[in-house]
Structure 1
Amino acid sequence: MASPHTPTLPERLIAHLDMDAFYASVELLRYPELKGLPVVVGGRRMHEPKTLPDGSRQYARLRDYTGRGVITTSTYAARDLGVFSGMGLMKAALRAPDAILLPTDFDRYRHFSRLFKAAVAEIAPVIEDRGIDEIYIDLSEVPGVRESVGHDPQGGVRAVAREIKNAVQRATGLTCSIGVTPNKLLSKIASELDKPDGLTLLRADEIPSRIWPLAVRKINGIGPKANAKLESLGIETVGELAAADPQMLIAQFGRSYGHWLHEAAHGRDERPVVTHSEPVSISRETTFERDLHAKLDRAELGAIFTRLCEQLAGDLARKGYLGRTIGIKLRFVGFRTVTRDLTLDLPTQDAQTIRQAAGACLKRVDLSQRLRLLGVRVGSLSRPGDPAPARRPTRRVDSGPKPENLSLF
């Protein structure tokens, strides 16, 4: 029989599940002796631990790193030292020189990602995939979620969320943090409130006490530029944003974003949990350890370019897509970024075809400056068996000068 407390639950119960320091935690399963230590993931294969004759391992240290790589993730012990994802490894070395450096292993991370998502789907199948380490879950109709436990109308919600956390740990050996609220915006914030291994339930009437004291940057969708502008207006907390004149926000940020800021500060978000979406494009890119030149480093760049195209073809095949638009991305010294693309007559997932098309794009770029980054992209995606697009002449986009007297890789 339904408890009289049950109707106090909102119509929608949305969870945001975020794996705790995911890449680093996966590495700690492989190297359990590093648990509790400051560990940074982001090095290359040269930074793999070495097994010594006595069976112990020797790890690379952040102080020994040279190059322009960035941190993919870090353990909580490393974060306590001021070392976070997205930070340059050499900058991080100044803050935590003795932190252990491990290379990334995305095949392994994708494997564990599939494991945790499958475990969740056994309990709550309405899932929106938000990336390798996070998902939204619609708990609204999950059996048992609306049952009261004693005098706690949220007891069923809490029990189901704990069941999900336990299932994830059994499947992967990893912990996750879950926030459960009436919508996606609040759940994203709530999942961060009690990390790691947290479980946070938040009602709409708790927004003033638990959300408004937070910094505005805690709202997903407020980036560095918007945050800086809000600070210049004297708005630093979510509560201050909620109290701001909506017309002033619209005047400062435009109608759409200004209105969204007002709604977000009040915890309003009607977005559904989207269980399926098609990607716009698939890409691969790499930042070089040192600047490379198209002529002087032709062999090295050629090998990297070919590998990116082969990896991209593998991604397309694994995900079941073909693509018609092939593009490149180049970042030169000084951080000047150039893109070029062209559209083929027919979609492909063939590595050689992608390589040839991407090479044709390269011919329209002045390669006289050294390169920091190289990327390849495939867009205009379709599934095998879809009706063939109308054949048309190849469309070249954003054409530029053809370099003279340079060897193309």
Structure 2
Amino acid sequence: MPVPTSSSAPAPLVDWLFLDLNSFFASVEQQMRPELRGKPVAVVPVDTDATCAIAASQEAKKFGIKTGTNIGEARRRCPELITVMAGHDVYVEFHHQVITEVERHFPVHVICSIDEMACKLDAPRRVLPAAMDLAKRIKRGLRERVGECITCSVGLAPNRFLAKVASDMQKPDGLVALLAEELPGSLLELELRDLCGIGRRMEPRLHACGIRTMQDLWGAERETLHRAWGGVGGDRFWHALHGGPSEDDPPARHRTLGHSHVLAPELRTPPEAGIVARRLLLKAASRLRRMHYRATHLHLSVRTEDGPRCEAQVKFEPVSDSIVLARCLAELWQRVMQQARWQRLKKVSVTLMGLEAESQPQQLDLFVSNAEEASRERREHLSRVLDEINQKRGRDSVVIGFTPDTVRTFSGTKIAFTRIPDREEFQE
């Protein structure tokens, strides 16, 4: 939006800068492989037309290809489409390079996802011209120091929610400011589903409250949104939409930690699937120790090829060593597979629950002998030694209960929508 030219009028203010990397995974692939630049590219988890795109380049998006598009359908829309296997470790490295570059200009306040981050502006940079200049310097720095293919759209607004909305309004390589004194302004040009927090389930609930357009949403009373959301989430959305101050996110508290995997056909028999479950458990246990937690519950879930889901759970004293956890998994595996009648499996999930920080005081058991305590300490020490070897020598250099070659094809770390893996995870 234009900057006011009148010298007497005070410049508008914004509080947040939101940065959204454009087609991030596909842009990284084009940065790493110049032969892909200017061509329609889809990043995929497996090399088959039955899978879906997890990212699409700007060139592919012109054909209607986006995250979630079936690759078979994508090839029908664009026969020249190039598919590239995802390199999650490379994307995490570029993610950290982007953070480093942004923080050359201003501190990052919140990392929202692998390709989104936000800066809460200080007094000198709240003035719109200064905020616009900061955004332009960040965009230029990314192109010059991270890669010419790495572009971003930036939104400026009085709160983080509206700054994110602004970043989505002009892509790729956009820069949009939403000012409190001009609201609703260009918001009225959007569809309800364009706003973060309104998806396919929420939209019908808004329709039921008589809200079908952005004009309806803007004019709705706070109580109406409270009713649509079924609680205070609607109140927060109303305040954010109208430019109210953002609530700082509370520090993350980990309640569960786990991994799941959809099995390849050759790994769906119970013996092979059991090895996959054990590998997923060891990966989760390594993360548990690195994050300085102990678990008190282990949950195992499987889904058979025919569809039914079978699950079981066990509770124990706070523990983090892989040896005890592997024993618990072996017990759960027998119980779950009896439920599944030892059929072929399609998916396996392992979750550690009831997490407690290592620093949390522990209630001592008066009936535990010194020998038992010493054995526990040795197991935890051995597990940490194995972690160190795998970090130094590479993932699966040392494993418990199976040969490393059995699992190399599936045990790599993936980037989820809600979590950015640490660099160390790619060696766990």
Distance of 2:234 and 2:79 partners within structure 1: 42
Aligned partner of 1:9 among 10, 13, 17: 13
User: 2: distance between equivalents of 1:90 and 1:195?
Assistant: 26
Q: Which moved more, 1:330-339 or 1:167-176?
A: 330-339
1:367 aligns with 2:340: yes
Residues 179, 200 of structure 1: 8 Å contact kept: yes
1:35 alignment counterpart:
37
Counterparts of 1:95 and 1:290 in 2: how far apart (Å)? 29
More helix per residue: 2
In the alignment, does 2:165 pair up with 1:189? yes
Q: Structure 2 CA distance, aligned partners of 1:337 and 1:88? A: 25
The equivalent position to 2:64 in structure 1, one of 54, 77, 82, is 82
* CA shift in 2, pair 1:120/1:319, >3 Å: farther
Secondary structure of 1:122's aligned partner: coil
CA contact under 8 A between 1:241 and 1:265: conserved in structure 2? no
What is residue 150 of structure 1 aligned with on the other side?
Answer: none
Aligned pair partner of 1:279 in 254, 266, 278: 254
Quickly say closer, same or farther: Cα 1:80–1:384, change in 2 above 3 A: same
Any idea what SS the aligned residue of 1:272 has? coil
> Which residue identity does 2:300 align to in structure 1?
I
Q: Deviations over 1:170-229 (max 9, x none)?
A: 442122222111111101111111122222222113332211221111221112111133
- Of the three residues 18, 21, 24, the one matched with 2:20 is 18
The structure 1 residue matched to 2:121, chosen from 126, 139, 161, is 139
In structure 2, relative to structure 1, the CA distance for the partners of 1:96 and 1:155 (3 Å cut) is same
Alignment of 1:83-98 (within 5 A): 83-98=65-80
Contact 1:213 1:237 in 2 (8 A): no
- Secondary structure at the aligned position of 2:125 is classed as coil
Seen in structure 2, the aligned counterparts of structure 1 residues 376 and 244 have a Cα distance that, compared at 3 Å, is: same
Q: Partners in 1 of 2:217 and 2:191 — Cα distance? A: 10
The residue aligned with 2:273 is 301
CA contact (8 A) 2:184 2:218 kept: no
- 1:30-86 CA-partner distances (Å, limit 9, x unpaired): 222111222111233xx4xxxxxxxxxxxxxxxxx254x332211122222222213
Residue of structure 2 equivalent to 1:396? none
CA contact (8 A) 1:328 1:339 kept: yes
| Structure-2 residue corresponding to 1:213 | 189
Q: Deviations over 1:321-355 (max 9, x none)?
A: 4433332343445765555433331231x444444
- Change in Cα spacing, 1:83 to 1:291, as seen in structure 2 (3 Å) is farther
**Change in CA separation of 1:71 and 1:385 when aligned onto 2, cut-off 3 Å:** same
Cα distance in 2 for residues equivalent to 1:383 and 1:170: 42
Is the contact between residue 238 and residue 265 of structure 1 (CA under 8 Å) also seen in structure 2? no
Aligned position for 2:85: 103
Structural mapping, 1:219-230, within 5 Å: 219-230=195-206
Amino acid at match of 1:181: A
Matches for 1:37-76 after TM superposition, within 5 Å: 37-44=39-46, 47=47, 65-67=48-50, 69-76=51-58
Return the letter of the residue paired with 1:283. G
User: What residue is the counterpart of 2:377 in the other structure?
Assistant: none
Distance 2:173 2:325 in 1: 43
Q: How does 1:305-320 map to 2 (within 5 A)?
A: 305-320=277-292
Give the paired residue count: 355
Cα pair distance change 1:138/1:262, threshold 3 Å: closer
Distance 1:302 1:138, change over 3 A: same
Partner Cα separation in structure 2 for residue 321 and residue 172 of structure 1: 35
1:372–1:381 Cα change, 3 Å: same
| Equivalent of residue 160 in structure 1, options 128, 134, 138 | 134
C-alpha spacing 1:374/1:252, structure 2 compared with 1 (3 Å): same
Structure 2 unaligned regions, length at least 5 = 1-6, 367-428
Further displaced range: 117-126 or 313-322: 313-322
Runs of 5+ consecutive residues of structure 1 not aligned to the other structure: 48-64, 147-152, 393-409
Maintained 8 Å contact 2:53/2:70: yes
Please name the residue that 1:235 is paired with. Answer: 211
How far apart are the structure 1 equivalents of 2:246 and 2:325? 40
Higher strand proportion (structure 1 or 2): 1
Q: 1:401 maps to what in 2?
A: none
- Rounded Cα–Cα distance in structure 2 between residues aligned with 1:354 and 1:391: 20
Query: Cα deviation per residue 1:123-152 (whole Å; 9 max; x = unaligned)?
Result: 3225212222211211125xx414xxxxxx
C-alpha deviation, 1:362, in angstroms: 3.2
The question of whether the paired residues in 2 share the 8 Å contact of 1:121 and 1:127 is answered with no
- Listed one character per residue, the Cα deviations across residues 258-298 of structure 1 (whole Å, up to 9, x for unaligned) are 43454444343531266x533333322222345965xxx13
Q: Distance in 2 between matches of 1:111 and 1:391?
A: 45
Shift of 1:308: 2.0
- State the superposition RMSD in angstroms: 3.1
**Structure 2: how far apart are the matches of 1:190 and 1:390?**
54
C-alpha distance in 2 between matches for 1:122 and 1:389: 46
The amino acid across from 2:38 in the alignment is: G
Conserved? CA contact 1:239–1:265, under 8 Å = no
1:350-383 Cα shifts (integer Å, max 9, x gaps): 4444443334333333224543322222233344
Q: Structure 1 residues 106 and 355, CA, compared in 2 at 3 Å: closer, same or farther?
A: farther
Deviation at 1:158, TM superposition (A): 1.0
- Partners of 1:5 and 1:325 lie apart in 2 by 61
Instruction: Name whichever of 217-226 and 120-129 sits farther off.
Output: 120-129
